[in-house]
Structure 1
Amino acid sequence: MSAVAIETATPTALPRAFWALWVCQLVNRLGSFVQPFLVLYLTHDRHLSAGTAGAVAAAVGAGTVCAQLVGGWLADRVGRRLTMLICFFGTAAALILLGSAREMVMIWVAAFLVGLLGDLFRPAVQATIADLLQPTERVRAYGLLFWAINLGFSVSTVSAGVLASVGYGLLFWLNAGTSVIAGVVIWAMVPESRPVLDESAPRRPLLGVALRDTVFLLMILIQIGYATIYMQGYSTLPLAMSGDGLSSRTYGLVIALNGVVIVLIQPFLGKWMVKLDRTKLLATSMLVVGLGFGLGAVVHSWWGYGLSVVVWTIGEIGFAAVIGAVFADLAPIDLRGRYMGLSGMAFGVGTVIGPLAGTNALEHFGPTATWTGCAVLGVVIFIGQYSLAPALHARAEANA
């Protein structure tokens, strides 16, 4: 094994700024108390109807989709570090505003701001990792960030239930506090990493470049297809399990396997995944997710659905570890943040399409056809992603 490979496989090879981002992600997710309990807060404390509360939650989602474009633009124009600082300190203020808002207009505005400001971080951190690390190091780095997110979120969802019994208002203040701590970590330990470009050169418009980038556009479509499948776990799956006579508590226990599997096995899979061809690993991971959901066509017990969750979670681990690295290889240096933002927005589009498509398919065609459709879509995006491997390799070499 070469010296370079040995250094890449050593945890200390990753720079201090990366580990600061890792801590930042962990702290931020440890305090993610509000979103899982937002609908309950709005219906219990603000006495809104379930439909209105759901619409307010959708406003958070709309802000999240917009954040991908805005965050990518800010990351390229004003810098990665400033974008992340705006995200964390702005999110803290938006959370306090949402927790104290009484008028519906202010609740709507605050909810949108929580989604918008809270997700500005995503394209900025994706671009920062690509700036700081060599292509051979990125898969491991993105995988570690994914693990930190899920570790923090797993802890926060359990502790939030206990804290909510004291009072929902406490959730907003604690969530805002962890956001401020994350911002302080960025301010103290993460330098600006945006590449220094020739200021005399004209700035290229994002759409002008992206719309001519066929490989990138195909990747965007594949990303939407993947997100469409993935979102069935949080929309169609509970309905299908209910149709098989399983309780909502059983669904909660089954879907909890997702976080458990990620926290327990991702660090071990991460060491193995860095040795694989990332474009083919991405294709295979998407296929595993599709086939994992496809198992729903033949299972009807809690353990069968649990097996399905474990299978597609393994695919999710592979996808999350390499998708950022693949888009980083694909992105032009001067548009890196905005390319990452479009990637995130594509996933957001899939999170809108997925619940609509899955629940309607379940209602009109039944569970067997719905889950078979997930498996077929998984095969389609696998073929598409695998076919793009040569073009992605060529772009990675050109942008190295």
Structure 2
Amino acid sequence: MTTYDVPTLAAPPAGRRPSRRPSRRPSRRRLDLPDLVWALAATQLVSRAGGLVRSFLVLYLTQEQDLSPATAGAVVAAVGVGDIGSQLLGGWLGDRIGRRHTMLVGFLGTAVALIALGSADTMPAIWAAAVGVGLTTELFRPAGSAAVADLPPRQRVRAFGLLFWAANLGFSVATVTAGTLAQSGYDLLFWINATTSVVAALIVWRRVPETRRPTSTQNRRALLPVLLRDRPMLAMMGINVAYFTLFLQTFATLPLVMSADGHGPATYGAVLALNGIAIVVLQPLAVRLLAGRDQSTVLAVSMVLVGLGGGLGAVVSSGAGYAGSVVVWTLGQIGVAVMFGATFAGLAPADLRGRYMGVASTTWSIGAVFGPLAGTLLLDHAGRTTLGAACVITGIALFAGQQALGPTLRSHISTKGNPT
């Protein structure tokens, strides 16, 4: 497992003046991450390792609740509807009551909502609980992103990278664990997920300091007028809504096509675990290789890889074929994740960071609504081949759009004096 060393600086011997000769090496202290980031990473690790429900929600709804694939996809989309509100609410709360308090509300609310969803046995109760899960689960994302965006720009790529790495280490643990537990029933998944949400809240309460700077009422700006004038931000939002729609439909359609080919929950969990394992192994290296490179180019290439991987996963039938498709779109996912948070943090005005990061995270939530709906509808009514072709075409279109936006994006971030 990759770890990050936190060096300590030794004091000079007594009676000896430290040398003023400049070092030829960059200061390692400049590369260090503050305790805040490590605490957030621990929170991500715990919450994602216990996040057993979401990746298996389609299987739970179709096998335990006897819902049709389309209805199950719609329930997963309802979680995404809650996510949209969660991102906007999390950004607003992060700027108003603070990043730390927003995370606490999110994790404790998630525990309650998960227990409600696992106990629901009627469609109205399932719909309400699904929205509640989405509304609370993602409060952490904009608040945590805003806390990282409060750091100096030179630390952001590595800080966001560490959070992404920790989340996916937890995710890889969750998928294998959930795949094994699901063979004996799904109830335990909900209780474990709720418990780890409470543990994550305890880490925030004990280890995460508040980073929001006090702002007087007179100096507060409304988000919408600023956002509507920010054309690069609006363009990035549109591209990322399309990207996350492409990416997140995979989590609704992959278990269905694998099940149709005779693969059980354990095989699905093992294949999906490759996603987390590949990220744990490759993402620290990706941060070193991609930091300082053109953001739009990295994002464009990464998005087309996700399209190619999603297209491959729709047409293969063997376990090895599914594993290969997951590896391809995981490479793209890593590239997007390395640049996503730092790019939006560079676009965000200092006084609107929480809300800008909330809006950025909302693109993920909108994709979580459209992705399961579009993917399951295409699979049901047009078949696997059409679904695969749509993935590839969308990936190519995203590549072209992100590359076209590149010059404007670089100029806009540079003008704000907030480079990543």
TM normalised by structure 1 equals 0.84
Are residues 1:92 and 2:111 paired?
A: yes
Tell me, in whole angstroms, the C-alpha distance in 2 between the residues paired with 1:172 and 1:235. 19
**CA apart distance, 1:99:** 4.8
**How do residues 34-113 of structure 1 correspond to structure 2 at under 5 angstroms?**
34-36=53-55, 48-51=65-68, 57-99=76-118, 108-113=127-132
Contact kept? 1:330, 1:399, Cα under 8 Å: no
**How large is the Cα RMSD of the aligned pairs?**
3.2
Tell me, in whole angstroms, the C-alpha distance in 2 between the residues paired with 1:367 and 1:173. 34
- Tell me the matched-pair count: 392
For structure 2, list consecutive stretches of 5 or more residues without a partner in the other structure.
Answer: 1-22
Call closer, same or farther: CA 1:187–1:50 in 2, change over 3 Å: same
Contact kept? 1:216, 1:330, Cα under 8 Å: yes
Tell me, in whole angstroms, the C-alpha distance in 1 between the residues paired with 2:139 and 2:327. 30
**CA apart distance, 1:68:** 0.9
Are residues 1:175 and 2:193 paired?
A: yes
Tell me, in whole angstroms, the C-alpha distance in 2 between the residues paired with 1:183 and 1:253. 29
Equivalent residue letter for 2:148 = I
Equivalent residue letter for 2:304 = L
Contact kept? 2:258, 2:317, Cα under 8 Å: yes
**How do residues 200-219 of structure 1 correspond to structure 2 at under 5 angstroms?**
200-201=218-219, 203-219=220-236
Contact kept? 2:182, 2:189, Cα under 8 Å: yes
Tell me, in whole angstroms, the C-alpha distance in 1 between the residues paired with 2:79 and 2:306. 26
Deviations, residues 316-372 of structure 1 (Å, cap 9, x unaligned)? 011112111111111122221122222222222223323443444456655445433
Call closer, same or farther: CA 1:57–1:26 in 2, change over 3 Å: same
Call closer, same or farther: CA 1:224–1:27 in 2, change over 3 Å: same
Are residues 1:313 and 2:330 paired?
A: yes
**CA apart distance, 1:130:** 0.6
Call closer, same or farther: CA 1:161–1:257 in 2, change over 3 Å: closer
Equivalent residue letter for 1:84 = M
**CA apart distance, 1:311:** 1.5
Tell me, in whole angstroms, the C-alpha distance in 2 between the residues paired with 1:102 and 1:364. 28
Q: Could you say which residue in structure 1 is the equivalent of 2:284? A: 267
Call closer, same or farther: CA 1:36–1:339 in 2, change over 3 Å: same
Q: Could you say which residue in structure 1 is the equivalent of 2:39? A: 20
Aligned partner (choices 337, 343, 357) of residue 374 of structure 2: 357
Call closer, same or farther: CA 1:5–1:302 in 2, change over 3 Å: farther
Equivalent residue letter for 1:143 = G
Contact kept? 1:333, 1:399, Cα under 8 Å: no
**CA apart distance, 1:293:** 3.2
Residue 276 of structure 1 aligns to a residue whose secondary structure is: coil
Q: Could you say which residue in structure 1 is the equivalent of 2:9? A: none
**CA apart distance, 1:58:** 4.3
Equivalent residue letter for 1:21 = L
Q: Could you say which residue in structure 2 is the equivalent of 1:32? A: 51
Call closer, same or farther: CA 1:32–1:235 in 2, change over 3 Å: closer
Aligned partner (choices 121, 124, 134) of residue 115 of structure 1: 134
Contact kept? 1:73, 1:338, Cα under 8 Å: yes
Tell me, in whole angstroms, the C-alpha distance in 2 between the residues paired with 1:317 and 1:367. 25
Contact kept? 2:315, 2:385, Cα under 8 Å: yes
Q: Could you say which residue in structure 1 is the equivalent of 2:205? A: 187
Query: Which deviates more from structure 2 when the two are superposed, residues 118-127 or residues 92-101?
Result: 92-101
Contact kept? 2:80, 2:368, Cα under 8 Å: no
Residue 229 of structure 2 aligns to a residue whose secondary structure is: coil
Are residues 1:148 and 2:152 paired?
A: no
For structure 1, list consecutive stretches of 5 or more residues without a partner in the other structure.
Answer: none
**CA apart distance, 1:391:** 2.4
**CA apart distance, 1:80:** 0.9
Tell me, in whole angstroms, the C-alpha distance in 1 between the residues paired with 2:60 and 2:320. 32
Contact kept? 1:282, 1:318, Cα under 8 Å: yes
Contact kept? 1:279, 1:385, Cα under 8 Å: yes
Tell me, in whole angstroms, the C-alpha distance in 2 between the residues paired with 1:3 and 1:399. 26
**CA apart distance, 1:314:** 0.6
Contact kept? 2:73, 2:376, Cα under 8 Å: no
TM normalised by structure 2 equals 0.81
Tell me, in whole angstroms, the C-alpha distance in 2 between the residues paired with 1:161 and 1:301. 18
**How do residues 216-365 of structure 1 correspond to structure 2 at under 5 angstroms?**
216-238=233-255, 245=261, 247-248=263-264, 252-295=269-312, 301-362=318-379
Deviations, residues 82-109 of structure 1 (Å, cap 9, x unaligned)? 1111112222333344455677655544
Call closer, same or farther: CA 1:112–1:299 in 2, change over 3 Å: closer
Tell me, in whole angstroms, the C-alpha distance in 2 between the residues paired with 1:340 and 1:362. 33
Contact kept? 1:296, 1:368, Cα under 8 Å: no
* Percent of pairs with identical residues: 52
